[in-house]
Amino acid sequence: MKIADLRGVISFVGAGISSLCCVLPLAIVLLGIGTGAFMATTMRYTLIFVPIGVVSVGAGIGLHVRERRRCAQKGCRMANGTIQAVLLGISAVVVAAALFFTVFPDTASKLLMRAMEH
């Protein structure tokens, strides 16, 4: 199996790693499954997790675009193209959310407070 066949999975795993610092702990705390201590522990690794997520999703998108161009030139159909595109989209949203929480923590906390009021 070539790495190009795994591009959706690679970016999805990277998004999962990226969300370990911001999105996942927040979701766990909001759902009442975990504690703030879990969130505080994982937040220490933000500078590691977010770049890994950005790089892996970027690599997944790059591989997807390259394969799509290759298939368009050869007139072939891309295997699992729709599934991979959906996984890439979900991954990009998760990484963008993690990046937003990391770069703009004040704005993110204000938005979350407003969301909790309603």
Q: In whole angstroms, what is the distance from residue 30 CA to residue 101 CA?
A: 15
Beta-carbon contacts of residue 102 (< 8 Å; ≥ 6 apart): 21, 22, 46, 50
Of residues 38 and 106, more confidently modeled: 106
Contact indicator for 51, 21 with CB cutoff of 8 Å: no
pLDDT tens profile 57-76: 888 888 888 888 888 888 88
pLDDT tens profile 7-41: 667 767 776 666 666 666 667 666 666 666 666 77
What is the reported pLDDT for 103? Answer: 87
Q: Alpha-carbon torsion 17, 20, 22, 23, what sign?
A: positive
- Give the pTM: 0.64
